[in-house]
Amino acid sequence: MLDLTNVSITFHKNTVNERKALDQVSLHLDSGDFVTVIGSNGAGKSTLLNAISGSYEIDKGKIVLDDKDLSYLKEFKRAKYIGRLFQDPLKGTAPNMTIEENLGLAYSRGRRRGLSMGIKKADEKLFREKLSQLGLGLEDRMKTKVGLLSGGQRQALTLMMATIVTPSLLLLDEHTAALDPKTAAQVMNITDEIVKENNITTMMITHNIENALEYGNKTIVMSQGKIVLELSGERRKNMTMEQLMELYSNTAHETFSDKMLL
Amino acid sequence: MSMTVIQGAFELGLIFAIMSVGIFVSFRILNIPDLTIDGSYTLGCAVSAIFAVNGKPVLGVICALLAGALAGCVTGLLQTKLKVQAILAGILTMTGLYSINLHIMGDKPNLSLFGMDTIFSYFSFLPEKLVYLVVVAAILLVVVVILYLFLKTQMGMSLRATGDNEDMVKASSINSDAMKILGLAIANSLVSLAGAIIAQYQSFSDVSGGIGMMVVGLASIIVGETLFGRRSLLIGFISVIVGAILYRFILTIAIWIGLPASDLKLLSTVLVILAIIVPVVKDAIMKRRERNA
């Protein structure tokens, strides 16, 4: 369960470039919710995810995940509970370390990393099993440096790493945007499978309106640092791509004309 | 060139290999250009020498190791918690250490250990000719084995990942600041250890002994990599050690053919520059050939 209450972030405060990246955002997600987040560039989607993960410090407000107050907790401490994928497939893995070493690191998420061996024999079997689920043949390349893999393979591996210890929350920031269409679809399918199988609360930013409706059980639309529309249930089920596009451009237009009036 | 000179070069090479392995940790594994090196090397010399003068050579080496780690921690804290730029943080610590090193040596610019007991005195049961070689090789072996095993532990893997991809590390609930501080402490403790051994090996400690040690370490790393390429961790260590020994031989040969000792630092610099530009020039020539073909 995730609760955001009046979360605000302002960039370049007290300068001419002052911009409210997040403006009093409140959001409630139940356990197991899979929310897709859409909105134009600069709407605050990534900032929202970065605020939750702790990459950006929030100015005001409260972030509570499963009864733990994360609002001002350091990024690496929040990472105990939060799995994350970035748009850039290179960001989620250590290129000069092998596949099994990367998984080994991810597998110790949230635990104290002491002086026991990084990869134990028993882990290896689990890693192999998990990797074979991806269907990319990575299970036979456990000793390969991750830097030698393709973008799609690295992103699939990152997904595995983010979920190998089931997180309380999974944040996906356009994680298929940099992949070719076929690979993107493949990674998206694996994502959906893993999320469903483990019932992980998930937020996914996407620019693909089709994906936004196809996956998950909720959709939110952001504009100018605010959540301007929340869709779920019947209304979302009956929504077509065209309608959502229209709604989306309407809300965007409204805020635009507001600004014109001012 | 006499046998003694060759053996001497080999022994020095092994000692500088310890230092180069330390620099390998900060420069290659953590990916941080750490300039504390010049200061922490002398710190090792100073601590080791003053303890040896007072009849405690072994304790001196151990304390030098710890003092080096402390110096690394200072640079690490400056870099992480206080957000000082990596290069500047190293320079600040190094410069501060100059005064501290002088104080440690009793405000004298150099100390002589002639006639004093050193760590090597404890191994007089070995054949006289081999004492230095065996002791130094044994220390290097222990250092590398421990470090290698450590880097395979969970904590060690976290440290390697920090140098490889900090974003990923933070997203994996690893405290990257702590890892950087730890890594710099390890790196500088090894550099200081090398300084400590050198002081007792040469029975001499000089407050400016550390000048240029960063370049010596870099030269060893790069010479090694030119031969072995950049591959696994184990090969990385082997390449640094071979590089350090080869580098020492290059210097020895240079002196043997008549280069004045005062020009060695210049030679080191030229060597590093050459090692870096040769692949670049080779690449450019290859490309031009392909275009003209």
Q: What is the pLDDT of residue B104?
A: 96
Considering CB atoms only, which of A53, A76, A161 is closest to B174? A76
B160 touches chain A (CB under 8 A): yes
Considering CB atoms only, which of A91, A115, A118 is closest to B168? A91
CA distances from A60 to A15, A48, A56, B67 (A): 19, 13, 12, 43
B231 touches chain A (CB under 8 A): no
Q: What is the pLDDT of residue A259?
A: 46
- Signed CA dihedral, B38, B80, B180, B160: sign only: negative
| Confidence bin at A250 (pLDDT 50/70/90) | low
B85 touches chain A (CB under 8 A): no
pLDDT tens, residue by residue, B112-136 = 999 899 999 999 899 988 999 999 9
B155 touches chain A (CB under 8 A): yes
Contacts of A96 in chain B (CB under 8 A): 160, 164
pTM of the model: 0.90
How far is Cα B69 from Cα B89, in angstroms, rounded to an integer? 15
Q: Which of the pair, B41 or A180, is modelled with greater confidence?
A: B41
In the predicted structure, residue A255 carries a pLDDT above the cut 70 = no
Read off φ and ψ for residue B250, nearest 5 degrees: -60, -45
Q: What is the pLDDT of residue A254?
A: 53
How far is Cα B79 from Cα B86, in angstroms, rounded to an integer? 6
| Confidence bin at A262 (pLDDT 50/70/90) | very low
Tokens of A179: 């992949």
How far is Cα B293 from Cα B290, in angstroms, rounded to an integer? 5
Q: What is the mean pLDDT of each run of 10 residues along chain B (293 residues)?
A: 89 97 96 95 97 96 98 97 95 96 95 93 91 96 97 94 93 93 98 97 94 92 87 92 95 92 89 84 89 83
* Minimal C-alpha gap between A192 and chain B (Å): 21
Q: What is the pLDDT of residue B128?
A: 87
How far is Cα B204 from Cα B141, in angstroms, rounded to an integer? 24
| Confidence bin at A209 (pLDDT 50/70/90) | confident
A244-247: long-range contacts, CB 8 A cutoff, minimum separation 24? A244/A38, A244/A209, A244/A212, A244/A213, A244/A219, A245/A209, A247/A221
Secondary structure (H, E, C), chain A:
CEEEEEEEEEECCCCCCCEEEEEEEEEEECCCCEEEEECCCCCCHHHHHHHHHCCCCCCEEEEEECCEECCCCCHHHHCCCEEEECCCCCCCCCCCCEHHHHHHHHHCCCCCCCCCECCCHHHHHHHHHHHHHHCCCHHHCCCCEHHHCCHHHHHHHHHHHHHCCCCCEEEEECCCCCCCHHHHHHHHHHHHHHHHHHCCEEEEECCCHHHHHHCCCEEEEEECCEEEEEEEHHHHHCCCHHHHHHHHHHHHHHHHHHHHHC
Q: What is the pLDDT of residue A258?
A: 46
Considering CB atoms only, which of A55, A91, A97 is closest to B161? A97
Tokens of A236: 């979302």
B167 touches chain A (CB under 8 A): yes
B residues 9..38 contacting A (CB < 8 A): none
Cα B99–Cα B136–Cα B214 angle in degrees, nearest 5: 40
pLDDT tens, residue by residue, A48-70 = 999 999 999 999 999 999 999 99
* Minimal C-alpha gap between B161 and chain A (Å): 6
Locate the domains of chain B by residue range. 3-211+227-238
Mean pLDDT of all residues in A200-205: 95
The CA-based diameter of chain A, rounded to the nearest angstrom, is 66
B174 touches chain A (CB under 8 A): yes
Per the DSSP assignment, residues forming a β-bridge with A231 are A219
In the predicted structure, residue A92 carries a pLDDT above the cut 60 = yes
The answer to whether A156 touches A125, Cβ cutoff 8 Å, is no
CA distances from B146 to A66, B45, B162, B186 (A): 41, 23, 20, 11
Per the DSSP assignment, residues forming a β-bridge with A220 are A37, A230
Considering CB atoms only, which of B158, B164, B171 is closest to A79? B171
* Minimal C-alpha gap between B181 and chain A (Å): 16
Cβ neighbours for B279, distance < 8 A, ≥ 6 positions apart: B226
pLDDT tens, residue by residue, A126-146 = 999 989 888 888 999 999 999
Per the DSSP assignment, residues forming a β-bridge with A84 are A171
- Kindly report the length of chain B: 293
In the predicted structure, residue A251 carries a pLDDT above the cut 80 = no
| Confidence bin at A217 (pLDDT 50/70/90) | very high
Mutation target vs B (from A57, A76, A164; most B CBs, 10 A cutoff): A76
Asked whether the beta carbons of residue B168 and residue A110 sit closer than 8 angstroms, the reply is no
Asked whether the beta carbons of residue A94 and residue B160 sit closer than 8 angstroms, the reply is yes
CA distances from A125 to A122, A139, A159, A230 (A): 6, 10, 18, 42
Mutation target vs B (from A75, A105, A157; most B CBs, 10 A cutoff): A105
How far is Cα A52 from Cα A116, in angstroms, rounded to an integer? 31
Mutation target vs A (from B147, B157, B159; most A CBs, 10 A cutoff): B157
Tokens of B206: 């000089």
Q: What is the pLDDT of residue A252?
A: 58
In the CATH hierarchy, which fold is given to the domain comprising A2-261? Rossmann fold (3.40.50)
Q: What is the pLDDT of residue A123?
A: 87
Contacts of B167 in chain A (CB under 8 A): 86, 91-92
Asked whether the beta carbons of residue B154 and residue A117 sit closer than 8 angstroms, the reply is yes
Cβ neighbours for B41, distance < 8 A, ≥ 6 positions apart: B19, B191, B192, B194, B195, B209, B210, B213
* Minimal C-alpha gap between B231 and chain A (Å): 9
Q: Provide the angle, in degrees to the nearest 10, between the axes of the packed helices B233-256 and B213-228.
A: 120
